[in-house]
Amino acid sequence: MNKEKLIIYGASNYGMKVYLSLQNQYNILFFVDSDTEKQGTVLLDKKICSPKVLSEYKDVNIIIGSSYFEEIFYDLSKMGIKNILKFQDSFCAIPHTEGNSWNDLNENKTINLGEFLKNFEEIKLKTLTFIPGGSGVLDYAFKKL
């Protein structure tokens, strides 16, 4: 079975976490990092390359494993790269359209959970997953039986 190819942007602890989390599901080609001292070295048996090589891999998904996501997203967008993923223990595709910035794509959508829940007489939860938000507040998702 051919695994989908993936490039990890970020050759740091976060990038290693991405690699260790995804190495069995994807064919991770190499790491990319803007730090010139890391370029040309090896991390977890994968070469660390300059971001300049990404223009040769426009059909390969690039997952950002770095705390500098917004800056990297902006730089990749300027390079014309559209297949950008963000790692968050699970990851999501970030749609790219001309003229959109990360802030435009990251609009906060809020619902009043109390108002939502009062419409149900009884809710039974099969699973409850807690997801730590960037602010340190726990957000949560649930599935109704």
pTM of the model: 0.62
**Which alpha helices (H) appear in 1-144, and where do they start and end?**
13-22, 69-78, 102-105, 113-117
Same domain, residue pair 63 and 13: yes
Q: Give tens-digit pLDDT for 14-66.
A: 899 889 888 888 999 999 999 999 999 999 999 999 999 998 998 899 999 88
Same domain, residue pair 65 and 121: no
What total number of domains does the chain contain?
Answer: 2
Q: What is the CATH number of the domain that holds 66?
A: 3.40.50.720
Same domain, residue pair 71 and 139: no
Measured CA to CA, the distance from residue 121 to residue 74 in angstroms comes to 46
Its domain, for residue 136, covers 111-143
Residue 101 domain flag: no
The residue ranking higher by pLDDT, 89 or 134, is 89
